[in-house]
Amino acid sequence: MHAVFAREYGGPEVMTWTEFPDPEPGPGEVLVRLRAAGVNYMDTGVRRGPVTSWSMPTALGVEGVGVVTALGEGVDDLAVGDRVAWYYHPGSYAEQLAIPAASLVRVPGDIDDETAASVMMQGLTAHHFTTETYAVQPGDTAVVHAAAGGVGLLLTQMVKARGGTVIGLVSREDKVPVAKEAGADHVLVSSGGGFEDRVRELTGGEGAHVVYDGSGAEAFRSSQLALRRHGVHVYYGVLIGNPTFRPMDLPSSILLSYPVVADHVPTREALVRRTGEIFDLVRTGQLRVRVGGRYALADAARAHRDIESRRTTGKLLLVP
Number of domains in the chain: 2
Q: Could you give the CA distance from residue 151 to residue 124 in angstroms, rounded to a whole number?
A: 9
Residues 200 and 135 in one domain: yes
Determine, yes or no, domain membership for 15.
yes
Count H helices, E strands: the chain? 9, 16
Q: Is residue 163 part of a domain?
A: yes
User: Are residues 131 and 68 located together in one domain of the fold?
Assistant: no
Cβ-based neighbours of 208, under 8 Å, separated by 6 or more: 141, 142, 143, 167, 199, 226, 227, 228, 231
Residue 79 and residue 101 in contact, taking contact as beta carbons nearer than 8 Å = no
Domain that holds residue 156: 122-262
- Does 185 share its domain with 158? yes
Confidence at residue 309, expressed as pLDDT on a 0 to 100 scale: 86
What is the value of pTM for the model shown?
0.94
Beta bridge partners of 234: 212, 257
In whole angstroms, give the CA distance from residue 259 to residue 76.
33
Considering 217, 246, 262, which residue would you say is the last residue of a domain?
Answer: 262
Closest-CA residue to 122 (of 236, 243, 293, 250)? 236
User: Same domain, yes or no, for 135 and 243?
Assistant: yes
Q: pLDDT in tens for each of the 320 residues of the chain?
A: 999 999 999 999 999 999 999 999 999 999 999 999 999 988 998 998 876 667 889 899 999 999 999 999 999 999 999 999 999 999 999 999 999 999 999 999 999 999 999 999 999 999 999 999 999 999 999 999 999 999 999 999 999 999 999 999 999 999 999 999 999 999 999 878 899 999 999 999 999 999 999 887 889 999 999 999 999 999 997 766 677 788 888 999 999 999 999 999 999 999 999 999 999 999 999 999 999 999 999 999 999 999 998 788 889 999 99
Q: Does one domain contain both 112 and 136? A: no
Indicate the angle between helix axes 268-283 and 150-161, nearest 10 degrees.
Answer: 80
CATH code where residue 159 lies = 3.40.50.720
Specify whether 246 is located in the same domain as 133: yes
Give the per-residue pLDDT at 51. 66
* Domain membership flag for residue 13: yes
Kindly provide the b/e burial profile for residues 142-180, where b requires at least 16 CB atoms within 10 angstroms of the residue's own CB.
bbbbbbbbbbbbbbbbbbbbbebbbbbbbbeeebbebbb
Residue 270 lies in a domain: no
With respect to residue 220, please indicate whether it lies within any of the assigned structural domains.
Answer: yes
Query: 268-283 and 121-128 are packed helices; what angle lies between their axes, rounded to 10 degrees?
Result: 90
Instruction: Establish if 267 belongs to a structural domain.
Output: no
Q: According to the model, what pLDDT value does residue 91 have?
A: 96
- Residue 50 backbone phi and psi in degrees, to 5: -95, 90
Dist CA 168 CA 182 (whole Å): 10
For residue 308, is it left (φ>0), alpha (ψ between -120 and 50) or beta?
alpha
Give the CA diameter of the chain. Answer: 61
State which of 262, 279, 297 marks the end of a domain.
262
Q: What is the pLDDT of residue 68?
A: 98
Q: Is the peptide bond before 57 cis (omega within 30 degrees of 0)?
A: yes
Nearest to 47 by CA among 59, 35, 36, 38: 59
Contact 120, 85 (CB under 8 A): yes
Task: Count the Cβ atoms, other than its own, within 10 Å of residue 27.
Answer: 10
60 with 165, same domain: the answer is: no
Same domain flag for 79 and 144: no
Regarding whether 239 and 152 lie in a shared domain, the answer is yes
Last residue of a domain, one of 243, 262, 281: 262
Residues 128 and 217 placed together within one structural domain of the fold: yes
Shared domain for 126 and 249, answered yes or no, is yes
Asked if 125 and 153 touch (Cβ cutoff 8 Å), the reply is no
Buried b (16+ CB within 10 A) or exposed e, 70-102: bbbeebeebeeebbbbbbbbebbbbbbbbbbbe
Within this chain, do residues 308 and 258 fall inside the same structural domain, yes or no? Answer: no
Residue 51 located in a structural domain: yes
d(CA 27, CA 192): 48
Phi/psi of residue 180, each to 5°?
-65, -35
